[in-house]
Structure 1
Amino acid sequence: MLKWWIAIMMVMATLLLWQQPWRQDAVAATKVTAAMVDSLTAVATPAGMANVHVGYDAFSVDFNPTAHRPNCTAYVLTREHLNGTVARHDQFTADDRVTGCPPPNAYRGSGLARGHMVPAADMAWNETAMAQTFFMTNVCPQSSALNSGGWSKLEEKVREWVARDSVLVVLAGPVPSATDSVLPSSNVVVPGRFFKVVIAPTARPRMRAIGFIYDNGPCNRPLRHYAVSVDRVEELTGLDFFKVLPPQVEATVERACNLPAWCF
């Protein structure tokens, strides 16, 4: 009888331990507020990386005045934004407020496209936001094959995801490397690769995130071939994402690359 009583008490103690908050799924239990979603756009740049933070109406740019290109761009995309009807602006311009911002003809003769980091199509819900995506602070020299191919397909996939998940935070930029080339006419540094990071903070049953790395050239394989964890993007870029999240949640979200959860 005593043995049975001890066994019952041990089972009850185990159940009580698992009911403690620190034993619950910390990611699923995280309360996501509008303020938290906005703060997920914040990015920490590594020491030694030239950086100026520039805020626009609907997105932000961490701009590198030495490389004359963004380090990272960030914005919140909602399902409602997909209903925008603003026509594409198509007028690239320098942001004269920002030191190091190149002129709109900086890539002339290079054969490279002016590649948006924040897509113009994602800002079709507001005329000012649409126009601001054409500031050269939001642009990188990009292979035309990538710009109209794999990169464009990824942008379309993000819009599919937000239609399902309601809210996404999207970050994108170049992957810096010592082997990056420089345009001699403008001193703009041409990246060899690009990244995109997407987090679905209100997804159920728990928030999730994913990263992508693309070479600056033809990338025509299915999306899943370019998918990586956010940890991998941080390792390659030196950037630090999602510091607003509790450490355990941040670690869990950033190390995952759960393709089925993103419906690949």
Structure 2
Amino acid sequence: MKRFIRHSIAICLVGLLFSACKKEADIQPLETSKPRTAATESVVLLNENFESGSKTAYATASVSLSSGSWTFDDALTGNLAADLKNGSKSVRIRNTGSITTDFSMTNATGTVTVSVKHGTYGSDANSNWQLWTSADNGQTWTQQGNTITTSGSLQTATFSFPATSSLRISIRKTSGGSSRINIDDVSVAAGSGTGGGDGGGSASDDSNLLLGNPSNALADISSENNYLMARTYYALSYSRNRGTPNWVSWHIQSSDLGTLSRSNDFRADSDLPAGWYQVQNSSYSGSGFDRGHNCPSGDRTASATANSATFLMTNMMPQAPNNNQKTWANLENYTRDLVKAGNEVYVICGSYGQGGTGSLGGVTNTIDNGHVTVPSNIWKVVVVIPSGNGDLNRINGSTRVIAINTPNRNDIDIDWTEYKTTVRDIESATGYNLLSTLRPSLQDSLETRLDP
């Protein structure tokens, strides 16, 4: 007899002829999500790699770069071996320095996505930095997204936010004293996607949101159930009402996989907006459900900072123990084996619905006195490409896409392949637009295909 999920797929395929299908569980898609539409191409406003121009002193001055004039305050262009960079140069910032565009980007309307590569200079201590923007030619400024912490390798931070006018950006170091940071490959795009809509390459390689923002999440407190949190090691849409992420998106390459053990420092996320309930380390205790990672600890073992970042409770969902420790663990190990075999992968994971069966038996709808919703289903999409450059351009009709949708039950089959489905089926269940930065015809090809 076919497993639960294959039966659900059959139902969905028939229902898709007329309308979006529902699964056996009572599915409640995210209120702010919209039906799947063709991806809208983004307009590239800025691509700056800091390879042109030169500034060799920290004193405040303007420097002419390929994108235009920038003011470097306590910052210079670095080309030393200790400078983390993609190419021959990057920016080096110390103390509370900054780099700021002296020009305004026009046509900054709709959802704007800013991508920045960053890291710690040499053996300096890690520091924090923030992205600030101005819509009035530098008269007033607003911080976008969360404060970002550097690490010893070049990572990509991505910010998405609404804009309605011209735009200036400022990258500001906020902590670490004389410790220095490197900034490289700053890109800005405007449109509904988070990159070059038809694979034009405007989104930075390795970006956690390279394949799109599935629910058009916003880093705005008014978007309390679709709140974008762009972190160094993953990006997520958080639901205040559910107390869990709607989805988490991240990239894995060989340099992300090291030898560090789990930090196990589960903790509340203090970066949530003021007044929001913070799910605690102990919130799942006695519930019969694991603190299930969306972005796994095992995908971030190259540094202690990276591994610790996965233990924030905003990255967790109540997961049936056998689902988490067996079925899902097997899939996670398989995914890492693909990376070790010479690939890199882009992963989107999430959950939906209400009501799961944990180790205590019986269906549970919420835990932590109603603050955390127990999902009925847990899903994941894995896009696999050989390691290389120009990632978005290298995704084609032959690219392998693995889509899994599991019931959140403790009697689950440990063989994750029993729960294969299509990306389109997951979209129908959630209302999200996955892989939205791909051209529509390629989306259709990849999203309707079941992984062999």
SS at structure 1 position matched to 2:263: coil
Judging changes above 3 Å, is the alpha-carbon distance between structure 1 residues 173 and 240 closer, same or farther for their aligned structure 2 residues?
A: same
CA displacement, residues 134-165 of structure 1 (integer Å, 9 cap, x when unaligned)? 00000001111111110111111111222335
Mind listing any 5+ residue stretches in structure 2 that lack a counterpart?
1-197, 218-222, 357-363, 386-393
Work out which structure has the larger RCO, using CA pairs closer than 8 Å and 6 or more positions apart in sequence: 1
Residues 1:248 and 1:101: Cα distance change in structure 2 (over 3 Å)? farther
Equivalent position of 2:139 in the other structure: none
Q: Is residue 61 of structure 1 aligned with residue 236 of structure 2?
A: yes
Per the TM alignment, residue 187 of structure 1 is displaced from its structure 2 partner at its CA by: 1.9
Query: Partners of 2:286 and 2:309 in 1: how far apart?
Result: 25
Residue 181 of structure 1, aligned match among 365, 368, 375: 365
1:69-99 CA distances to partner (integer Å, 9 max, x unpaired)? Answer: 01000100013323x1222110110011213
Q: Distance in 1 between matches of 2:305 and 2:395?
A: 29
Q: 1:40 aligns with which of 210, 229, 236?
A: 210
Residue aligning to 1:252 = 445
Match of 1:77 in 2: 252
Structure 1: which 5+ runs fail to align? 1-28, 260-264
Amino acid at match of 2:328: W
Secondary structure at the counterpart of residue 341 of structure 2:
helix
Hey, what does 2:263 align to over in structure 1?
Answer: 89
Moved over 4 A (4+): 29-34, 46-49, 177-180, 201-205
1:168-218 Cα deviation digits (max 9, x unpaired): 001111123489711252421001110011112447883231210111123
Which structure 2 residues correspond to residues 202-217 of structure 1 after superposition, within 5 A? 202=394, 206-217=398-409
* Partner residue of 2:375 out of 186, 191, 199: 191
Moved more, 32-41 or 96-105: 32-41
Task: Specify which of 290, 312, 317 is matched with residue 135 of structure 1.
Answer: 312
Q: 1:206 to 1:255 in 2, by over 3 A?
A: same
1:54 Cα deviation from its structure 2 partner: 0.8
After TM superposition, give the deviation of residue 37 of structure 1 in Å.
Answer: 5.3
Asked if 2 retains the 8 angstrom alpha-carbon contact of 1:102 and 1:186, the reply is no
Partner of 2:105: none
Q: Give the distance between the partners of 1:184 and 1:35, measured in 2 at CA.
A: 39
Question: So what's the TM-score if we normalise by structure 1?
Answer: 0.78
Provide the alpha-carbon RMSD of the alignment: 2.7
Aligned residue number for residue 22 of structure 1: none
Higher strand share: 2
Are the counterparts in 2 of residues 53 and 61 from structure 1 also a CA contact under 8 Å?
A: yes
* CA displacement at 1:114 relative to structure 2: 0.5
Matched, 1:167 2:336: no
2:421 equivalent among 228, 231, 251:
228
Distance 1:175 1:81 in 2: 28
Bigger helix fraction: 1
Shift of the 221–87 alpha-carbon distance from structure 1 to 2, 3 Å rule, reads: closer
